[in-house]
Amino acid sequence: MHRLFAIQGAAGALRDRLKLSSTPYANLVHVDIGEIVPVVQKEMGFGWGCVTVLHFLTDLGLACKPDLHLVRSARHLGIWNGSENPSCPEFIEIVRRVRSLVEQLDGSLSPARLRYVDKILMEIDKCGLIGASPASPRSA
């Protein structure tokens, strides 16, 4: 039942945003993630915690998916040196750092590119590339 209420809240928030614009979340592209999360959380209501909102924003290309794989990759690459089990403010900081990385790489930030880098960071850990020992040379 709680999922139904969360879905209804999201539908209501989307309906309200569609009254203002045919691109309901486009105005958030260049807004700091620390400002976006509480706004979207409030708009969507019951069942929309920080992590759920970040997952939603990831699908829009506005954030990174806050999962174990992203955190591990960020730690390995030196993007994040905090907790292995981040809190909401820490997840927001990780997203800021990944967004900054994309801006450094590309000179600007686009939702598609942020989503792409998010997926790459996730796959780096998921595929076991972090902490993997280098391949041993083949004998001739």
Tens digits of residue pLDDT in 71-119: 999 999 999 998 888 999 999 999 999 999 999 999 998 889 999 999 9
> Can you give the pLDDT at residue 134?
46
Q: In the chain, what are the helix, strand and coil shares in percent, each to the nearest 5?
A: 65, 0, 35
In whole angstroms, give the CA distance from residue 12 to residue 47: 13
CA angle, corner 100, sides to 97 and 106, nearest 5?
A: 145
pTM: 0.83
Closest CA to 14 of 4, 26, 24, 5: 24
> Can you give the pLDDT at residue 138?
42
Write out pLDDT tens, residues 35-44: 999 999 999 9
Judge whether residue 9 has pLDDT over 50.
Answer: yes
Q: What is the mean pLDDT of residues 27-56?
A: 94
